[in-house]
């Protein structure tokens, strides 16, 4: 395992007060809000109940809320929930009812016994379930098994739209790049479409680990080269097709997975500068995007339109498609932007 993988920080020393079902959850929540460390002593479910009560107390605004409301809640929840610990013994959560979290054995070769915030233990175990069972990607026709901390798309329409675009692609198929590969789906789509060499980059080492493991699972290894790097990474020669499904909204990056959701100032400028230097004659830059930025951040300049206005690239084609709502009705559309150098 590469040493640099992201993992929840193990708590090696603490003086946490034990809590069990005899402690009223409202009391436990108050202690957490005061910053007092608590160690769940009887059952994993006790920890989950306390976290649920904490969510209610902090008025979780829900997934459909705006960026600021979600962020404010998340910061308060993270600050309080990190004080609620679960014991880990022999790299297993040592509480009855704790779901399996095989990543504990993989991510903590240096420690066997420690404590983890219950919330981190919960995230590790649900990540393990995704990893063990896999997620079916109809655009590939098989399951991907995302490693802990690698991005998994919540919907598939944008991948299908990219597949529609790719099926019509007439250009050269020597070298392609998937910038910000996540669990590898776009790189695998391009390899399936016959590209001779596909580079897949990601700044998140867990994403690179995820795709490396995925490649080892496949019977025929696709010609995908991985780089844990910023944006396009090292120069391997001119690229016919530069593809990215970048973060769709502007925002601050706290957790590793925020890198998949939020971009910061300069991200797109650097992406387009590098693309201009590396694109092969007649090549294309394709961005898988969404109108979510126009709907939820109307004050943020549109990063692709801003680049087009600079006159270095022209828009060849833009495909759009409505998405099925994940929770409630939505005006969201996914998009594929095809750009060529002017
Ligand atoms: C929206 S996700 C897309 C993942 C995958 N390509 C997909 O379509 O499901 C964006 C990805 O870009 C990565 N990323 C963010 N900033 C990056 C950067 N500066 N360089 C390389 N990758 C980056 C994130 O870690 C994340 O995996």
Q: How many CA atoms lie within 13 A of 339 on its CB side?
A: 28
Mean pLDDT along residues 95-121: 95
Q: What is the mean pLDDT of residues 122-129?
A: 96
Residue 158: Cβ within 10 Å count? 22
Return the higher-pLDDT residue of 66 and 34: 34
pLDDT over threshold 80, residue 325: no
* pLDDT for 3 beyond 50: no
> Could you tell me the pLDDT band of residue 255, with boundaries at 50, 70 and 90?
confident
Instruction: Give me the residue spans of the domains in the chain.
Output: 17-131, 135-341
Ligand 1 centroid to residue 260 C-alpha, Å: 5
Identify which of 4, 156, 180 to mutate to test ligand 1's pocket (most ligand atoms within 8 A of the CB): 180
Across the range 128-155, mean pLDDT stands at 96
Kindly state the average pLDDT of the residues 77-105: 95
Q: Residues near ligand 1 with C-beta < 6 Å?
A: 151, 153, 178-182, 185-186, 201-204, 207, 230-231, 245-247, 259-260
CATH dotted code for 135-341:
3.40.50.150
* Ligand 1 atom with least separation from CA of 207: 27
Q: What is the mean pLDDT of residues 260-266?
A: 93
Candidate of 178, 202, 231, 263 to mutate for ligand 1, largest count of ligand atoms within 8 Å of Cβ: 202
Query: How remote is the CA of residue 73 from the centroid of ligand 1, in Å?
Result: 24
Alpha-helix runs per DSSP H in 67-183: 67-81, 103-107, 118-133, 157-168
In ligand 1, the atom with minimum distance to the C-alpha of 247 is 1
Residue 328 banded pLDDT, cuts 50, 70, 90: low
- Among the atoms of ligand 1, which is closest to the Cα of residue 152? 9
- Give the span between the Cα atoms of 212 and 226, in whole angstroms: 7
The Cα–Cα gap between 248 and 263 comes to 7
CA of 231 to the centre of ligand 1 (A): 9
> What average pLDDT does range 147-152 have in this prediction?
96
Range of weakest confidence among 105-119, 172-186, 248-262? 248-262
Nearest-10 Cα torsion for 94, 98, 99, 105: -20
Residue 188 predicted with pLDDT over 60: yes
Q: Given CA atoms 161, 234, 259, 107 in this order, what sign does their dihedral have?
A: positive
Q: Is residue 67 pLDDT above 80, yes or no?
A: no
- Residue 171 has which token pair? 């250009």
pLDDT at 101 over 90: no
Mean pLDDT for the stretch of residues 327-340: 87
Q: Which pLDDT score is estimated for 71?
A: 84
Q: Is the pLDDT of residue 248 over 60?
A: yes
Q: Looking at per-residue confidence, does 303 or 236 come out higher?
A: 303
Say how many Å lie between the CA of residue 126 and the centre of ligand 1: 21
- Atom 17 of ligand 1, nearest CA residue: 203
Instruction: Supply the pLDDT for residue 277.
Output: 97
For residue 327, pLDDT beyond 90: no
Pairing of strands 333-341, 279-290: antiparallel
Phi and psi at residue 128, to the nearest 5°: -65, -40
List the structure tokens of 127: 């990540």
Output the CA 243–ligand 1 centroid distance in Å.
Answer: 11
Q: Which helix (H) or strand (E) holds 340?
A: strand 333-341
Q: Is the pLDDT of residue 329 over 70?
A: no
From 250, 241, 240, 262, select the one nearest 306 (Cα to Cα).
250
Q: Record the pTM.
A: 0.94
- Give the model's pLDDT for residue 4: 87
User: Does residue 1 have a pLDDT over 60?
Assistant: no
Percent of the chain with pLDDT over 70: 98
**pLDDT band per the 50, 70, 90 thresholds, residue 11:** very high
Q: Which of 54-58, 67-71, 315-319 has the lowest mean pLDDT?
A: 67-71
Q: Check residue 22 and give its pLDDT.
A: 97
Q: With 60 as the cut, is the pLDDT of residue 2 above it?
A: no
How many angstroms does the Cα of residue 256 sit away from the middle of ligand 1? 10
Mean pLDDT score, 33-62: 96
């Amino acid at each position: 395992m590469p040493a640099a993988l992201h993992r929840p920080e193990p708590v090696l020393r603490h003086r946490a007060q034990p809590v069990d079902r005899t402690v009223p959850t409202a009391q436990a929540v108050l202690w957490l809000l005061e910053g007092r460390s608590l160690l769940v002593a009887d059952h994993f479910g006790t920890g989950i109940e306390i976290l649920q009560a904490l969510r209610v107390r902090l008025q979780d605004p829900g997934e459909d809320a705006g960026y600021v409301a979600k962020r404010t809640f998340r910061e308060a929840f993270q600050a309080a929930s990190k004080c609620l610990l679960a014991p880990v013994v022999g790299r297993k959560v040592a509480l009855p009812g704790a779901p399996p979290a095989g990543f504990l054995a993989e991510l903590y070769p240096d420690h066997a016994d420690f404590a983890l915030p219950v919330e981190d233990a919960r995230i590790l175990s649900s990540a393990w379930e995704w990893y063990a069972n896999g997620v079916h990607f109809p655009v590939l026709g098989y399951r991907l098994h995302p490693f802990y901390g690698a991005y998994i798309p919540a919907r598939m329409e944008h991948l299908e739209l990219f597949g529609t675009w790719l099926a019509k692609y007439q250009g050269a198929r020597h070298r392609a790049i998937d910038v910000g590969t996540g669990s590898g789906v776009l790189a695998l789509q391009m390899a399936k479409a016959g590209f001779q060499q596909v580079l897949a980059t990601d700044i998140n080492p867990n994403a690179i680990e995820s795709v490396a493991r995925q490649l080892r699972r496949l019977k025929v290894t696709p010609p995908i080269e991985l780089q844990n790097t910023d944006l396009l990474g090292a120069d391997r020669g001119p690229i016919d097709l530069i593809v990215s499904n970048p973060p769709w909204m502007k925002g601050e990056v706290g957790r590793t997975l925020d890198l998949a959701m939020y971009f910061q100032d300069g991200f797109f400028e650097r992406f387009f500068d590098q693309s201009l230097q590396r694109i092969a004659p007649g090549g294309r830059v394709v961005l898988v995007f969404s109108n979510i930025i126009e709907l939820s951040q109307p004050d943020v300049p549109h990063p692709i339109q801003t680049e087009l206005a600079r006159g270095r690239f022209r828009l060849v084609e833009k495909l759009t498609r409505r998405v099925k709502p994940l929770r409630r009705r939505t005006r969201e559309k996914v998009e594929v932007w095809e750009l060529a150098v002017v």
